[in-house]
Structure 1
Amino acid sequence: MTVFLVSTSSAFFVILYSMDWGAEKSDSWMKAFILSFMGSSCVVDTLQIVVLAVVLSAVCSLPFLTKPPAIRKEDLQLNLWNSAAPKKIRPPTKANCQAARKKRELSKKSASTLLEFLLLLIFVAVLFYIAQTNNDQRAFYETRTLSNTILREFDEIRTPDQFYMWTEEVLLPTLYPSVWYNGRKMKFLDRQFAQNTESFRVGPPRLVQVRRRLGATTWENGAGLGWNRYLQNTSYSCWRFAVPDLLNHPNHTSNCTNHHSLDLPLHHDTAVAFFRSLKDSEFLDKYTKSLAIDINFYNPSLKLFSVVHIVLDHTGVGNLVPKATITSFGLFQYESDADYMNLLIHIIFTLLFSVMIFKEAKAVRNMGWQYFISGWNVLGCLSLVGTATVISVFIKRYTVASDTLALVAKSNGELGFERFVDLTTAAWWDACFAHIMGIVVFINNIALLRVVRFSQTVAKLLALPSIMKNELMSFLVIAAVAFMSFISAAFLIFGSHLESYSDMYRTTFALFEMMLGRFFANDMLEANPLIGPIFFSAFMICIFTLLMNFLMSIICDAISADVDVELDQDLAEHMWNSVCAKFGMHSPPSKEEEPGKTTATPDSS
């Protein structure tokens, strides 16, 4: 009762003081109170106890304060006088020898397993570090900045006139800025930077048009004014773009081919006149299959190159279909101190990879073809093959990056980069390295389960596919038929109204998102007010509610099933007992190891 009254009165006065002080002063008081209480109880009192213990132990251990214990000779030899030595010492029994041999084998096996686990863990950790250092997080912001500036209103292009209007109003002012935001004129070198970005152009942009191939003896009308048919021989003919205003252009390619490339001028006014000439000569006509624009950028502060690939597809439909990709990547390697640290990590990774290959080769030599029967061994081989592929792709990417940097350096003139440099190959190898690295990291993380498969929990988890294979196969057949039915229906109902259902791939992805709980019901209702609600309700009931619950039931039944799994229980118990013994926790011996259970046979002699 006294404690309750004291606590209530203290809390009452604290509330009154907090109302009088205000929120800010009350928070400051509460922080000061908590910090002082924690500092006094956790730091000051602990230090006082430690210092006092050290001082007392130092004082009590002085030579003149210590006395040796007084032990009488009679008490020391009392037990020895009353005991007698055995007449004959017998060897350990057969059961004890088998237990000791088994314990010794388990100790060696556990040490080998622990060493294998540590080696694989270090290998995966180094691989994960290399993957993270290769992935520059700033590339996302660079890509987003270029997308917001260069690709503005690009998705709205449907006709050639809209394309030429977009180039004149958005693309050219962004690529060739002339004034700052305050109206001041830019210097020549500043004009190479794209508008509102920190990236400058590496060479002029390039236009590449792919045209439909003509027949050898038939002439089809309706081509643009600047396009002529060139008959190379009796069996092959091609297009030639011949415009008087563009023939004097030094970068104009007029070879007989169905792929035509043009490099844009380096100045804004000349580029505007260049596109107007293309428009007047009908550069885009009904025989155009696709038109691509490649633009290269470099951000000095981030040391990242970017490739902007703009495509207008004219195949299959009457309108132009705009597509664009922006890829940011690095070409400079081993320049700063951090890069040389990464070089050291690469060398360590190569050494670890050599050790892993030697270990697996030794296992294959000892076991022969029996080694490949186990699925875990096959997974280990796939991991090594993938790692070797990563190393090979890394070397190829490094050589391609070096060659590309040499080409970029050659294209640099007195007034900036004057020639177009194709960075597509370097970007492709960088993306290839990133994708393969992701797959290899995933495989190696799964391979970690290979070492700890003796655990009962892990063994039960790995045995789930075999436990529920019959029910799962039946479920997958039914789910595949139902899902394909909904995909076909969604593509036919919403394909002409919603972009996310415009083709089978996007429809599959959209319905998979709906199955996971992410959907946009309003768009479906607006696209088809009559069939949309029926389709949405049927999908949510059949797929999201029924089939997903069926799958969860199958998994839960498999987890709760009482089945025998293959695991080394003795090894797991031995490793657990060893770990507990390291921390001073000893478990009672098993019945097989109790010394009193087995008795030695009497000597017949």
Structure 2
Amino acid sequence: MYSENHMWVSIAYRPQSSNYTRCQRVSCALTLNMLSLIVNAMFLRAGGKDGDIEDDADIQVHTSFISTLIVTPPTILLIYLFKLSKPKPVDPNTTLFKPSGRSTKIRVPMVHDWLEKQHQCSVQLEKCLVQKGYPSTQGLKLPYQCTYLAWFLVFLIWFLCAFFIMLYSMEWGKKKSEEWLTTFFLSCFQSIFCLDPPQGGMRLAAPPLDMGHLKKAKRLRQKELQLNRAIRDTILNLLMCWIIYSIACNRCRNEYMDETKCYKNYNEPDEETGAFCIGWKAGPCDDKKSIYNFSSAAWNFTSAFDIWGIPIAGGYNIYGGGGYIAKLDVNMLVSQTIVNELYLNSWIDRHTRAVALEFTLNCLQANIFTYNMFLVEFPETGGAFVHYGIHPMNVYQHVGPMGLYTLACELIYIVFLVGFTVMNIVMIVQQKKAFVSDAWQVYDLVFVMLGYVAIEMYFVRHVMTSQTMSVFNADKKAFINFYHIAIWNDMLVLLQGILCFMATLRLLNVLGYHKRIGTVVRVFKKIASQLIWFSLFFTACFTIYCIFGWLLFGAHLEYYKDIYSSLRTIFLSMIGKNRFTEMDNTSPYMAKIYFLLFIGFVDYLVLTTFLALLSKTIDDVHVEAKKDTGDELVDFVLKKMKRLILVGKSVKRLVKDDESKHPAPRINNARIENPYIDALEEIRNALQCSLISDPRGK
């Protein structure tokens, strides 16, 4: 009853078959609130100034009741305009999520299909369970254009009420505003609990359902309830984990340390970018004095765009590619003078967060450039962390015989990639949606796409290298930043390694014709769905132990200093390279408990579960392989090669072996006689003799 006629309750529990939508119900409720606000404001305006208002609860209740009576008729008018308007005529084949005559611009197939199916099931179930009937509104129906009129009135009321409320509120003070809010809340209370409940409706009972349909609906409802419980429990558990995680990671606040000077951590948007005089003094600087100083440029900020800089990843933080740069000279005495000036004027002070020493070495004989970067980080809490990176690379490509061979291989790879692309396009056009059903075809498509990405990265690196070397050749004593080339070269080498791995893995598809290798492929195809869920379970367990190790040993051991280090350390522990000695020295009892739980649960229980799944699937595939009695393609190839290279074996023996493996058909234990068989056998024997006989006549 309340789900249809109560204005507030029906927002959450709207009948599915009603034309009075939830959006319209919310709009009518908001209209009621806006009208209540403006009417109460008018009553307060008539009461006098802010200081003349008296605290009288009876007056407030009376005002709120009168306001409710005033705003109820226009609200009811809007409700009936929406409720009695006929729905807009549509095509009967049109569904809620597939409007006729136009296609959806943004459509998620699985989500939309599932929502449409749920909508149809709910409508059919309601038609079967409940027969709707509203005697008070059964005979009167308004044209669907009245809905437009109702929406116009709704927006007009919202705008006018908001405008006049803003004007009234400019004249009020604190006391009058409190009176206004009190009367408004009283009006809402009276509207919800006094005016709406007397309304009522009646639904007529439908004939009893078929027991089969009822059981099916019961099973479906039980599954929905189980799914809702699972989602609710998952959300609650995640929320509880987040709360406990937040409590465990909470750091002590320093509000009580009034006399302690705190320093901020490094954040690239907040880094200092100003220009200073020597000694970090604010300008303007003395130009005459700066001429005699070798380190004047080191006190001015240099942007990352000016030196082709990219962010530098250290062990503690990530730093911007720019900064205050002190360029050392090739002459050792000049470099020592620059370093002494920087030291005497405190170039590195308490506000410094990182100092990087960068230089590039070149070996002409080996055609290798080696970019070196030694980084010292100074956290805001004090101390220092050391980090370094050494990146060898070939700047000059295709030098010498090996370079020419590499160039030839690159050209052949491009030709191969183009041909492979054409083949994939033809297969996509022919197979259409069936193309994605074959995992190897999708694998080949990804392989082609990564190949084009590698080619693009190769050309980008070539352009960057050419620009850098042109600047280097112009002034070989100047500092040239090779860090962006080193990082780009590392990414290209990584992508080339992935392509080599994928190309090697494609051999499984080629060798899949062999029964033993094909068995391995069939095992993983059959266990694929189970492996997905097992991977989720293993990832959850692995991540939990990583966080646990980080919380226990992160403050003492570098191997557990963050989540990523914990992931790497625990993964190495799984393959036998553990850090138990360091853990035991830090916390003997907790280290033993943590290590035993990890070995017992992850290494034993989880991996044993994986082996059990794999063993069961191997047994099933082995049984299926026994039923396949066909010859292997590899054996067929070996037989053909044996026939080609075998010399000296008589034709009669070959024919006898062939007839023993493939006997002639018989009827009633007798060979089928044909006058042409003998002639055909003589011709075949003569051809085989000419093919396998010794050409020297021996």
Q: Match of 1:426?
A: 485
Q: Which amino acid aligns with 1:433?
A: L
Pairing 1:371–2:435 present: yes
CA deviation string 1:379-431 (max 9, x = no partner): 1111111222222222332333333333222113xxxxx21112223222321
The alpha-carbon distance between structure 1 residues 527 and 468, as it changes in their structure 2 partners (threshold 3 A), is same
Structure 2 matches for 1:141-160, cutoff 5 A? none
Change (3 A) 1:545 1:569: closer
Q: Is the 8 A contact 1:364 1:371 kept in 2?
A: yes
Contact kept? 1:305, 1:328, Cα under 8 Å? yes
Cα distance, 1:508 vs structure 2: 1.4
Residues 406/224 of structure 1: CA separation in 2 closer, same or farther (3 Å cut): closer
Give the deviation of 1:373 after TM superposition: 2.8
Shift, 1:562, TM fit: 4.4
Counterpart in the other structure of 1:226: 279
Partner residue in 2 for 1:295: 359
Equivalent residues of 1:314, 1:321 under 8 A apart: yes
List runs of 5+ in structure 2 lacking aligned partners: 1-266, 304-322, 647-653, 675-698
Distance verdict in 2 for CA 1:300–1:372, change over 3 Å: same
In structure 2, the partner of 1:577 is: 636
Which residue does 1:595 correspond to in 2? 665
Where does 1:196-235 land on structure 2 (aligned, <5 Å)?
212-213=270-271, 226-229=279-282
1:225: how far off? 7.5
Match of 1:448 among 501, 507, 527: 507
- 8 Å Cα contact 2:572/2:578 also seen in 1: yes
What per-residue deviation string (whole Å, max 9, x for no partner) do you get for residues 298-331 of structure 1? 1233221111112223355422322110111111
CA distance in 2, matches of 1:466, 1:316: 53
Q: State whether residues 514 and 633 of structure 2, in contact with CA within 8 Å, keep that contact through their aligned partners in structure 1.
A: no
Q: How many Å separate the matches in 2 of 1:285 and 1:314?
A: 10
Query: 1:336 aligned to 2:404?
Result: no
Cα distance in structure 1, aligned partners of 2:338 and 2:589: 51
State whether structure 2 residue 325 is matched by structure 1 residue 261: yes
- Normalised by the length of structure 2, the TM-score is 0.47
In the TM superposition, residue 211 of structure 1 has moved relative to its aligned partner by 9.6
Relative distance call for 1:554 and 1:572 in structure 2 (3 A) is same
| AA partner of residue 318 (structure 1) | G
Structure 2 match to 1:349: 413
CA distance in 1, matches of 2:291, 2:533: 66
Partners of 1:225 and 1:282 within 8 A in 2: no
Give the match for residue 42 of structure 2: none
- Residue type matched to 2:422 in 1? F
Which residue of 2 is the match for residue 252 of structure 1? 297
Distance of 1:211 and 1:482 partners within structure 2: 37
Structure 2 residue aligned with 1:360: 424
How far apart, in 2, do the equivalents of 1:480 and 1:268 lie? 54
Relative to 1, partners in 2 of residues 1:406 and 1:330: Cα closer, same or farther, differing over 3 Å?
A: same
Q: Which runs of 5 or more structure 1 residues have no equivalent in the other structure?
A: 1-208, 217-222, 232-239, 413-417
1:557 is paired with a residue whose SS is helix
Report 1:493-572 matches (<5 A).
493-562=552-621
Q: Does the 8 Å CA contact 1:459/1:567 hold for their aligned counterparts?
A: no
CA deviations on 1:26-79 (whole Å, 9 max, x unpaired) are: xxxxxxxxxxxxxxxxxxxxxxxxxxxxxxxxxxxxxxxxxxxxxxxxxxxxxx
* TM-score normalised by L of structure 1: 0.54
CA RMSD of aligned residues (A): 4.0
Whether contact under 8 Å (1:513, 1:519) holds in the other structure is yes
Name the SS of the counterpart of 1:451 in structure 2: helix
Q: Percent identity?
A: 15
Residues 582 and 301 (structure 1), Cα distance of their counterparts in 2 relative to 1, 3 Å cut: closer
Q: Give the count of matched residue pairs.
A: 375
Cα distance change on mapping 1:254 and 1:511 into 2, 3 Å: closer
Do the aligned partners of 1:295 and 1:307 also contact (CA within 8 Å) in 2?
yes
> In the alignment, is the contact (CA less than 8 A) between 2:277 and 2:299 conserved in 1?
no
Q: Which has the larger radius of gyration?
A: 2
For residue 549 of structure 2, give the secondary structure of its aligned residue in structure 1: helix
Deviation at 1:246, TM superposition (A): 7.6
Counterpart CA distance in 2 for 1:567 and 1:358 is 39
Give the superposition deviation at 1:507.
Answer: 1.3
**Secondary structure of 1:252's aligned partner:** helix
SS of the equivalent of 2:577 reads: coil
Matched residue SS, 1:263: coil
Matching of residue 281 in structure 1 with residue 334 in structure 2: no
Residue 492 of structure 1 deviates from its aligned partner by 2.2
1:498 maps to a residue whose letter is L
1:346-387 Cα shifts (integer Å, max 9, x gaps): 223333333323333333343344333322111111111122
* C-alpha separation in 2, matches of 1:565 and 1:401: 57
Please report how far the alpha carbon of residue 583 of structure 1 lies from its aligned counterpart in structure 2 after TM superposition. 0.5
Aligned equivalent of 1:489: 548
**Does the residue aligned with 1:324 lie in a helix, a strand or coil?**
strand
Contact 1:210 1:289 in 2 (8 A): no
Alpha-carbon distance in structure 2 between the residues aligned to 1:590 and 1:429: 65
Contact kept? 1:454, 1:567, Cα under 8 Å: no
Q: In the TM superposition, what is the alpha-carbon distance from 1:257 to its structure 2 partner?
A: 6.2
Distance change >3 Å, CA 572–CA 319, structure 1 → 2? farther
The 3-state SS of whatever aligns with 1:284 is coil
Please tell me the residue identity of whatever aligns with 1:596. R
C-alpha distance 211-250 of structure 1, shift in aligned 2 (>3 A): farther
Letter in structure 1 aligned against 2:666: G
The aligned residue for residue 9 of structure 1 is none
Letter in 1 for 2:665: P
> Which structure is higher in strand share?
1
Closer/same/farther in 2, CA of residues 338 and 471 from structure 1, 3 Å limit: closer
1:470 deviation in Å? Answer: 6.2
Q: CA deviation at 1:487?
A: 1.8
- Are residues 1:308 and 2:378 paired? no
Aligned pair in 2 of structure 1 residues 225, 285: CA closer, same or farther (>3 Å)? farther
2:121 maps to: none
- Contact kept in structure 1, 2:373 and 2:389, CA below 8 Å: yes
CA separation of 1:481/1:272 partners in 2, compared to 1, >3 Å: closer, same or farther? Answer: same
Residues 227 and 241, structure 1, Cα contact 8 Å, conserved in 2:
no
Which residue matches 1:143?
none
CA contact 1:304–1:329 (8 Å) conserved in 2? yes
Alpha carbons of 1:322 and 1:348: their partners in 2 closer, same or farther (altered >3 Å)? same
Q: What corresponds to 1:29 in structure 2? A: none
Name the aligned partner's letter for residue 369 of structure 2: F
2:446 counterpart residue number? 382
| Other structure's SS at 2:578 match | coil
Shift of 1:570: 9.2
Q: 1:325 to 1:582 in 2, by over 3 A?
A: same
1:30-109 residue pairs with structure 2 within 5 A? none
Distance 1:322 1:351 in 2: 46
Q: Is the 8 Å Cα contact of residues 666 and 672 (structure 2) preserved in structure 1?
A: no
Aligned residue identity for 1:226: G
The structure-2 alpha-carbon separation of the partners of 1:364 and 1:276, relative to structure 1 and needing over 3 Å to count, comes to: same
Deviation of 1:448 (Å): 2.4
Task: Out of 321-330 and 495-504, give the one that drifted further.
Answer: 495-504
